[in-house]
Structure 1
Amino acid sequence: MKTDSYIQKKVLSMVNRFYLGAFFVFLSASGFAMIPIFATFAYRAEVSVFTLLFLRFLLAAVFFLLYLFAGKKHRWKSGSKIPYFPLFILGGVLYTFQSLTFFSSVKYIPSALASLLLYTFPIFVALLSYLIDKERLTVHILASIALSIGGLALAMGKIVGEINPLGVVLALSAAVCYSLYIVIGNRVVKQLSPVVTTTFVTVFATVSFFFIGLSTGSLTFRMSGQGWAAVAATALVCTILSLVTFFRGLELIGSTKASILSMLEPVVTIGMAFLLLGERLTWLQMLGACAVISGAIWIVAGQGRQKQQPRDGQQPDTFMP
């Protein structure tokens, strides 16, 4: 009887842990989903892309630096060297370019479409993993890639002549750059926790946007109340809150499940774009969107099954949306 009671409590604890972790990841995905929405409001208030991104990463960097030095829980291993140059490549180059292209794409195409195009990144991750890490492209993954591409064709079929192709190129460039960030990040920063990695990424991204914005004259802090509100929401809700809840969900349910649940992000973006911006998708486009997201989920799930269970002390996959 005692054994049965112990097993029941253990199972209940695991179930509760999963649902709590899923809740945190859903909160995170919902926050990230609002990025193109708040960016649209910022642009309407004539906030420049460089100003928006500089302030976003500046506030995030300050928060995570304070969080990091407030306690030792997420510090790097004693005696280990910090890979500053790889971290600069991740934050100061790859993620800077990813953010710049994605935020710029929202100026030319609807938010829902930009988010959908960004979430083709699992296709590029799978292909890069095959080319760099020699991971097998199984029938499962190839079928998932085909499903995502077919869904994207459906989603864009009716509007291909009505949208700015520059926006499409920018959003797809963001997806490619994000996939490079993930693949390279998982190879070079395994000795760091996700919080430490994210701290360095936000710091280097802040520095990059500051100098690029300063040299191009794109940084300006004279903006309306709506502009400041959009900037604050992007930094606090879409970055800090979303990352904190994702890290908590990551601890509870692991990187693969968290990555799969994060695929809800474009779904939330599509809903919020409809409610707040009046963007509408046809039923055929909605079907295509479902296919893209389903394909992305199956790719992530397929790659998760290929990976071995992490050893004790090994950190989960690098992540920053």
Structure 2
Amino acid sequence: MTKTTQPPSPATDRPSGIMNQPYLLLTLSALFWGGNIIAGKYAIGELDPFELSALRWIVAFLVILPFAWPSLRAEWPEIRRGLGWLAFYGVVGFTSFNALLYGATNFTAAVNVAMIQAAIPVLVMVGNFLIFRVRASALHMVGVVLTIYGVIHVATHGAPARLIGLDVNLGDALMLAASLLYALHSLMLRYKPRIGWMTFILTTSFFAALSAVIYQSLFSTGLSGLVSATVSMSPRGWLVVAYVALLPSIVAQMTYAQGIELIGPNRGSLFINLIPVFGALLAVLMLGETLETFHLIAAIFIIAGIGLAEYAARRNLRQILKPQ
């Protein structure tokens, strides 16, 4: 009698436990990325922004290398074709964005850094229109304007007129520049090679580490200074490096990729908007920062703007997909 092999049922193919909980996975991703802002604050006095960025990506690359090596070999032809874009993501979206974010935490409150980061989804929407001519509805544009005003309200500490005289805190200006870079990174992800998330993190963290070392050599204390800072770090410094190298750089990428796979990018991308929320809450809880009146006013504009923009985008998508 010949034994027949039954195909596995869909239930056995699905991940189990936490890896089958998309909302939890996506929330954890936003929490870990929000915590990156707090780590920048804790690094003050231990590492400068360039040193922290360099150590983050060197450690992340070394940690993921043995796990991603088999997929790197299998996907090498596709990686080689998209090497330029992978370098772009590592340099612009990983190293440059985080160096500016860590720099911003030296000059402004973590709450400000978190709330200005809320501009990223809106900047992506604006970039989609300006670069790729993706049309936006009137309601969508109202949402964009509200969110941008909310970010300006934070950056000018409740006095938007200060923008006329370019009287903006250096830290807030650095975070605005970081948000622009990450929006550009996000826009260009449409050219990402078709490779797995682990191979993507390995290759981009390699370029991130390489560019971070170059930044360290050009704008900070050089390689000797990096070695010196590493040797003299306190346990707190090592905890900060371990956190930024493992949780925001690797684990959050894994949980986000799995969450997106389970419920799709349209629904999953909404959780990105939780990053500034978690960043602000953690700043209050862990750093003892105070939410000022201008933060609350800005939050109303930012949340309303993002909500309107997301609603408009999804309504437009439903109309496109509606059977004729």
Give the TM bin, normalised by the shorter chain. 0.7 to 0.9
TM-score by length of structure 1 reads 0.80
Letter matched to residue 207 of structure 1: L
Contact 1:111 1:270 in 2 (8 A): yes
Cα shift at 1:242 = 1.5
Q: Do structure 1's residue 180 and structure 2's residue 184 form an aligned pair?
A: yes
- Which structure has the larger Rg over C-alpha atoms? 2
Cα shift at 1:159 = 5.2
TM-score by length of structure 2 reads 0.79
Cα shift at 1:297 = 4.5
Q: Do structure 1's residue 211 and structure 2's residue 214 form an aligned pair?
A: yes
Deviations 1:5-51 (CA, angstroms, capped at 9, x unpaired): xxxxx9xx9xx9998101100011111111111111111x3312112
Contact 2:155 2:173 in 1 (8 A): no
Secondary structure in 1 matching 2:177? helix
Cα shift at 1:211 = 2.3
Q: For residues 115 and 41 of structure 1, do their structure 2 counterparts lie closer, same or farther at Cα, with a shift above 3 Å needed?
A: same
Q: For residues 204 and 38 of structure 1, do their structure 2 counterparts lie closer, same or farther at Cα, with a shift above 3 Å needed?
A: same
Which 10-residue stretch deviates more, 145-154 or 267-276? 145-154
Contact 1:17 1:252 in 2 (8 A): no
Letter matched to residue 36 of structure 1: I
Q: Do structure 1's residue 170 and structure 2's residue 174 form an aligned pair?
A: yes
Q: Do structure 1's residue 111 and structure 2's residue 114 form an aligned pair?
A: no
Cα shift at 1:279 = 0.9
Contact 1:77 1:192 in 2 (8 A): no
Between the aligned partners of 1:245 and 1:35, the Cα distance in structure 2 is 16
Q: For residues 81 and 139 of structure 1, do their structure 2 counterparts lie closer, same or farther at Cα, with a shift above 3 Å needed?
A: same
> How high is the sequence identity, in percent, across the aligned residues?
22
Partner of 1:142: 141
Letter matched to residue 89 of structure 1: F
Between the aligned partners of 1:81 and 1:32, the Cα distance in structure 2 is 29
Q: For residues 79 and 212 of structure 1, do their structure 2 counterparts lie closer, same or farther at Cα, with a shift above 3 Å needed?
A: closer
Deviations 1:234-254 (CA, angstroms, capped at 9, x unpaired): 222232222221112111111
Q: Do structure 1's residue 256 and structure 2's residue 260 form an aligned pair?
A: no
Contact 1:263 1:297 in 2 (8 A): no
Cα shift at 1:272 = 1.1
Contact 2:122 2:144 in 1 (8 A): yes
Partner of 1:267: 277
Cα shift at 1:300 = 4.5
Q: For residues 100 and 305 of structure 1, do their structure 2 counterparts lie closer, same or farther at Cα, with a shift above 3 Å needed?
A: farther
When the two chains are superposed, the root-mean-square deviation of aligned CA atoms in Å is: 3.1
Q: Structure 2 stretches of 5 or more lacking a match?
A: 1-10, 319-324
1:42-57 maps to which residues of 2 (within 5 A)? 42-43=43-44, 45-57=45-57
Number of aligned positions between the proteins: 292
Partner of 1:285: 295
Q: For residues 230 and 81 of structure 1, do their structure 2 counterparts lie closer, same or farther at Cα, with a shift above 3 Å needed?
A: closer
